[in-house]
Structure 1
């Protein structure tokens, strides 16, 4: 990653490059060399993102669970897939996902491209029998081959091209348009007095920055690590681990994705990926930008409000043998909790900024949900 000195095009040397704008001093996201960001891929990715025809029964798109109307989450405790099936984990926001080192709550996907592959063939999510079936479905839609021609230089539809386009679109979902961003840029009146007090508590007494790290070059409020804070204590971890190992022993390359949606076993968290005892019940620290838009909270959606989240942390989490050593009671007053929540609300973006038109995407979501469109119009 390179340090940005001003708001400017991060990939200006590329023909047709998409102008990804970042505030002064913010580090660029890592973009795979094999998938440079271009305007044509972003446009194709946007269309694919909203297209329910990528799912087996034509009812679920990426936007179904990562909806612009809900801060690019879905407002549900756990995701809902085809045929109304309930998943086992909360849908994280896609906003700023391009700045995350790994994807999913358990970190099983190293890139947005790899992340985009899994829901397509997960039987609980989009339900396609194979990636070949996804390719066949997309290639059969007349709009798409010309768009693949523009984005990749030939009309051939492949699974790698599909997910590269979706990932390219998702990397643009970084608004940097919150009151807190204006505050960082020098507008000292952008935050209320309560939010300013909350920011100080966030960095001090409340110890939020222990995991929700903040610095001006990487202002996403995450350490990109995994922690057990007690949310996942829902069963006998030893028995769950034995069940998980039996599934993994089948040699199924999709076993991690399967386990992530299996009730009970999903609570093993990062352990499903690493099998390290220290990772039992540990989940990725989410970023906090737009957190006021993405209730309910935690990997299982078990906490309905920011007030419930703060109460949970204030009492030191839920005791269990694998609890992170940093978890302990905070002794915050009601007034201090209210101030911290005001600060978190200041992280809410007010528009898509210079990178995308949020209102346009909200309207696309409304129309696709109402059946007025099956996907974004061809660019």
Structure 2
């Protein structure tokens, strides 16, 4: 998958004073996400998707919404090591941020969903997340809420309440969750005052350490290097002869192999975005690392087999802070009611 398919803004690395990436180039985040031809955007569809995203009645207990784990009033996650679903159940993976997820070449830590539409269906029936019996049960719940049918009609036409349209609407809303114009973006667009001296040192250290070999492209998620449209997957941990691997229990989860069943996919993980990473602690697939500076040390040792100095760590953390963008204002939707009855069992 080429960067062009994401509509990326490519900024020439020849700008004076800008650290270079060799063959790659520093890239700013677009202000709009790519939109698939079979799910065009509309105001009605986005509003429906936003309403569904915040509605806990898509869960079996009426307690968990998409926003419960991917909180758009925060950094797009829940700041927990692993998220809590119905009846307090927890899984074994950290909730990825929903902000800028439209720039991922695949979804979930193991890339098992090809796009946002497919991803939107997964948590609804996951037994430790929203725990609906099946998607038909979820659609029955939506149909039982009088206010949803006219919203679906406005977004998709008559008789359009379906699991596919539910997912299309949620995905359309998620494609509005873009955070452009970070200090880093302003810098690569030519504002030479946008980054501090320390952030510039961190930018150079980020390149020199080799972080850009995976965390490249506008979203710093390697999507521009995606193979076969499935995202960029890297083995983690790559170097296991260090104390971090045991300390943070990195070998307990076999990663993509648990979805594909293939030995070649053991400990392979989709490269996550670094956009707004300063807001999404704790870190890694199991949420075991609580601070960003420790995450930088862990990555340097487990992936690059390097010991960074404390100054390098501080500088890289400062640079990562410059990837925090501008968040579009979010308002809570008014959920359609069930006058005189409840659908919660």
Q: Shorter-chain TM-score category?
A: 0.7 to 0.9
Whether contact under 8 Å (1:31, 1:37) holds in the other structure is yes
Whether contact under 8 Å (1:4, 1:28) holds in the other structure is no
Alignment CA distance shift 1:333-1:266 (3 Å)? closer
Whether contact under 8 Å (2:32, 2:178) holds in the other structure is no
SS of 1:283 mapped into structure 2? strand
Alignment CA distance shift 1:134-1:220 (3 Å)? same
Alignment CA distance shift 1:139-1:213 (3 Å)? same
Alignment CA distance shift 1:45-1:266 (3 Å)? farther
Q: 2:215 aligns with which of 207, 212, 237?
A: 212
Cross-structure match for 1:337:
313
Whether contact under 8 Å (1:211, 1:285) holds in the other structure is yes
Whether contact under 8 Å (1:75, 1:294) holds in the other structure is yes
Cross-structure match for 2:258:
272
Alignment CA distance shift 1:333-1:2 (3 Å)? closer
Cross-structure match for 1:46:
50
Alignment CA distance shift 1:3-1:228 (3 Å)? closer
Whether contact under 8 Å (2:109, 2:270) holds in the other structure is yes
Q: RMSD across aligned C-alpha pairs, in angstroms?
A: 2.7
TM score, norm. by length of structure 2: 0.81
Whether contact under 8 Å (2:31, 2:180) holds in the other structure is no
2:45 and 2:131 map into 1 onto residues whose CA distance is 25
2:262 and 2:85 map into 1 onto residues whose CA distance is 30
1:264 and 1:220 map into 2 onto residues whose CA distance is 24
User: 1:48: how far off?
Assistant: 0.5
Cross-structure match for 1:16:
none
Cross-structure match for 1:228:
235
Structure 1 residue runs without a partner (length 5+): 7-22, 234-262, 318-326
TM score, norm. by length of structure 1: 0.74
Taking the TM superposition and a 5 Å limit, the aligned residue runs for 1:122-133 are 122-133=126-137
Cross-structure match for 2:273:
287
Cross-structure match for 1:114:
118
Q: Is 1:71 the counterpart of 2:70 in the alignment?
A: no
Which stretch shifts more, 220-229 or 125-134?
220-229
Q: Is 1:351 the counterpart of 2:337 in the alignment?
A: no
Q: 1:102 aligns with which of 93, 102, 106?
A: 106
Alignment coverage as a number of residue pairs: 301
User: 1:74: how far off?
Assistant: 0.4
1:295 and 1:375 map into 2 onto residues whose CA distance is 33
User: 1:375: how far off?
Assistant: 7.1
User: 1:35: how far off?
Assistant: 1.0
2:152 and 2:335 map into 1 onto residues whose CA distance is 18
